[in-house]
Amino acid sequence: MSETGSTVPRLALGRRLRQLRESAGMTIEAAAQKLETSRPRIWRIEKGENPLRSGEVWLMCNLYGADDETTAALMALAKETKAPEWWRVYGDTIPRTLDLLLGLEQVASAFRWWEEHLVPAILQTEAFARMVMETDPALSPDEIELRVKARMGRQDLLFNRKDPPRFDLVIDETVLERLVAVPEIGRDQLDRLLDAGKSLPRVTVRVMPRSAGFHPAVQAGSFTILDFPTNQNGNGEPTTVQTDGWITPVYYTKPEEVTRFVDVFDDLTKRSLDEAASREFIQNLRSQL
């Protein structure tokens, strides 16, 4: 994102403004000319990359013929785009490429997470997170510590929120077996997974055994499906899929794209061990440490 401010309100505001413009039968070029701005700026606004002042929103709503109620609601939403995001207290230590992901996580009502490489960030222990970050030679010790603190703050949505999101995890067996190579860290990390599945009522942890063989997710790689709450009118953020990228995450929101990932996750759930068998698998690994 190119400017500071709250990511998800920007996305919602940009999407509604685009819908209003399209309903008015107006092109981006025509809107830019009428508003005496540039085409790229309108494009960035509609993509949620720029925060907006209430006055700017009023001008756009007036141009697109929005009613008073819609205009007032979007002007209020514009104020939210200026709100600082909690992870910005860590400055540039947290890459801007993560702004969208962290913003979406804060408002998601449900996660469906398939992981074939690492324990998910939201369930990592502090020691495990630090060990992973220490593998990046580009990070200084101070940067690592700040990122670890930020990652622990990211977990508040599961462990400290009064109304936490649903979190369904399917994790590959090899991810867990790798923890045996680091006993001190692995022991606590396995305990964290066991505790989350047992003490957090909205968290489920399933293990994908190697005996399941090849499955569609082998091609898909690790991914997270994020669902969002809807308002009384049935509107809300569209279901979004985030896939891993070494430099920056990749997102999918088109219904046909999301459906493919949902089908893969449903298949993973069927092939994986059930919750009880998964706990037993993790406990057996834990007993080796």
**Where does a domain end: 57, 80, 103?**
80
- Residue 132 CA to residue 120 CA, distance in Å, equals 12
pLDDT confidence band for 231 (50 / 70 / 90): low
Q: Is residue 1 part of a domain?
A: no
pLDDT confidence band for 178 (50 / 70 / 90): very high
Better-predicted residue by pLDDT, 92 or 44: 44
Residues of the chain above pLDDT 70, percent? 96
Residue that has been written with the tokens 């890459």 in this structure: 95
pLDDT at 52: 85
Instruction: Output the domain CATH number for residue 63.
Output: 1.10.260.40
Q: Is residue 73 part of a domain?
A: yes
Same domain, 13 and 132: no
**Where does a domain end: 80, 105, 124?**
80
Report how far Cα 119 is from the mean position of its chain's Cα atoms. 15
pLDDT at 100: 79
Q: What is the mean pLDDT of residues 71-100?
A: 78
pLDDT confidence band for 234 (50 / 70 / 90): low
**Using an 8 Å Cβ cutoff, are 157 and 122 in contact?**
yes
The span from the first CA to the last CA of the chain, in angstroms, equals 43
Q: Is residue 49 part of a domain?
A: yes
* Strand 166-172 to 203-208 pairing: parallel
**Using an 8 Å Cβ cutoff, are 158 and 111 in contact?**
no
Paired tokens of 3: 């400017």
Same domain, 142 and 253: yes
pLDDT confidence band for 235 (50 / 70 / 90): low
Same domain, 197 and 246: yes
**Greatest CA separation found in the chain?**
69
**Where does a domain end: 33, 60, 80?**
80
**What SS3 state is found at 243?**
strand
> Which of 91-105, 191-205, 268-282 is predicted least confidently?
91-105
Q: Is residue 196 part of a domain?
A: yes
Question: How many folded domains does the chain comprise?
Answer: 2
Q: Which range of residues forms the domain containing residue 36? A: 7-80
Residue 2 has pLDDT above 60, yes or no: no
Same domain, 60 and 94: no
- Residue 106 CA to residue 37 CA, distance in Å, equals 32
Q: What is the mean pLDDT of residues 221-230?
A: 90
Same domain, 151 and 211: yes
Same domain, 122 and 241: yes
Beta bridge partners of 168: 112, 204
Sheet containing 166-172: order of strands: 203-208, 166-172, 110-115, 223-227, 240-243, 250-252
pLDDT in tens, 248-289: 788 898 999 999 999 999 999 999 999 999 999 999 999 998
Q: Is residue 2 part of a domain?
A: no
Residue 1 has pLDDT above 70, yes or no: no
